[in-house]
Amino acid sequence: MTDLNPLLHRVERLKPDNVLDIGCGCGSFTIELAPHCKRITAIDISEPLLERCRKEHDRPNIAYRCMDGRQLDFPDGHFDWALCREFLHHVYDWQVVVDEMLRVTTSGILIEEPLDDPRSDAKRNTMQEQRLFLELQAEVGYPHYAHVTPDQLTGYLRKQGIRFESEIIRSDEAVTFEEYSEAWAFFAEKSAREHYWLERLADFRRELGDGQLCKNDILFIAACK
């Protein structure tokens, strides 16, 4: 079976003392990390999401704080490891996040990001659906951008003189149209053109016909200082 969670498995092996989790969202991944870390500081820019974290994923070794990953309110070397999972494509200037992660750590950083790869019809269909969703999210002011490419991320680390290892985990596992589009109605309702966006989605589904969608590939990077 393909390992689709390399970041978690790396943390299981490292058993770090003091970890920074950037862009924790609703905390569903942070809670998976908790048994393998002595202390976790999990940050997100959304206070409502953090309130949900405190209610649903409270643990003695997790502290949730509202903070922008591009401006970390921590001194240099405050953590041994910093990690982010499916976060960099939520900020336009993701390089600043990487710089901050490196600044506040002594051991290194762990990054897991979704990837695009047009190697099959299902992958190309998925990329088309994601481009359409980006249009909707941009209209309602939600920060979400095209996925960072492996060359962009590894090239940036090389330029900074950072040692790292990288791995691409490929997946062709099919997902249903409903799985990929479950958030569509939520964002459409926030726009001033809800009917228009629902029609765009319906048009795409008709164009898709019997075509499939599939999970994204994953880029995993472990960079050591």
CA distances from 9 to 4, 35, 112, 119, 223 (A): 10, 12, 12, 27, 15
Residue 92 maps to a domain? yes
3-class SS at 200? helix
**Per the domain annotation, does 205 fall within a domain?**
yes
CATH number of the domain enclosing 204: 3.40.50.150
In a domain, residue 1? The reply is no
Of 218, 23, 35, 7, the C-alpha closest to 108 is 7
**Within a domain: 18:** yes
Domain extent at residue 71: 6-224
Alpha helical stretches, state H, the chain: 6-14, 30-33, 47-56, 94-103, 121-139, 150-159, 177-181, 184-190, 194-208
| Tokens linked to 38 | 């002595």
| pTM for this prediction | 0.94
pLDDT 10s per residue in the chain (225 long)? 345 689 999 999 999 999 999 999 999 999 999 999 999 999 999 999 999 999 999 999 999 999 999 999 999 999 999 999 999 999 999 999 999 999 999 999 999 999 999 999 999 999 999 999 999 999 999 999 999 999 999 999 999 999 999 999 999 999 999 888 888 999 999 999 999 999 999 999 999 999 999 999 999 999 998
Looking at the 3D structure of the chain, how many domains does it have? 1
Question: Per the domain annotation, does 184 fall within a domain?
Answer: yes
In a domain, 175, yes or no: yes
